[in-house]
Amino acid sequence: MDNLKAVKQCSLFENMTDNECLEAVARLRGHSETFQKGNILRSAGEDLPYFGLVTRGIVQVFMDDINGNRIIMATVTTGGSFGESLSFLRVAEIPVSIYAAEDCEVLWLSCEGLENVPCDDRIGQLLLKQFVAMMAHRTLDMNDRIQVLSKLTLREKLLTFFSQCANKSGARTFSIPLDREQLAAYLGVNRSALSRELCRLRDEKKIEFYKNTFKIL
């Protein structure tokens, strides 16, 4: 498997040897597919029989509000995954769309391999345990998102988001996988208003930034 290194970056395959990882992927009926930037991987209203693991590029999960404004729910980079809950629950019509934010490769995996795992099946039990842990971490990530969106002002949203990014990176300087338009969609705000507030924060010497790299002062 050419993308084994990227696959092992995913927490689902943590603590597995190369051979164990290959066996685990086979159990989950893994198969790869490539997409060009802008391609829709899955549209809202369709089913999602497999969840995805990004082995190259960036994938974004989004939904449109009643006014047609795009809201980015998740940005998934190499080693990250998406759609696990929707696939596991066999949701007939998913409420989100998934698209390639840049040229990418996705390893599709089936949740069926996580069902009816015997107690003495070491790899199966490890997969199941790590799948549950991965979903628990996803819940924590959603809590971070709620913390950001619950702030009343754009400034508060930005400062909360930057604080979360700094904590995750372990440094006051960090990069985000979002351009200005995508960041505005993630925060649910107007792009022009976002640009103005970023400039104000910079002028007040609260942050520095260049493109998608930021520093909290």
**Cα–Cα distance for residue pair 168/208, rounded to 1 Å:** 18
CB atoms within 10 A of CB 26: 11
pLDDT for position 1: 65
* All structural domains of the chain: 4-146 (2.60.120.10), 153-216 (1.10.10.10)
Instruction: Report the distance separating Cα 166 and Cα 121, nearest Å.
Output: 40
pTM of the model as a whole: 0.79
CB 84 within 8 A of CB 51: yes
| Per-residue pLDDT, 177 | 83
Residue-by-residue pLDDT tens, the chain, 217 positions: 678 889 999 999 988 999 999 999 999 999 999 999 999 999 999 999 999 999 999 999 998 877 777 888 888 999 999 999 999 999 999 999 999 999 999 999 999 989 888 888 888 899 999 999 999 988 888 888 889 889 989 999 999 999 999 998 899 999 998 888 889 888 888 889 999 999 999 999 999 998 899 999 8
Dihedral of alpha carbons 108, 112, 114, 118, sign: negative
Separation CA 84–CA 52 (nearest Å): 8
pLDDT at residue 186, as a whole number? 85
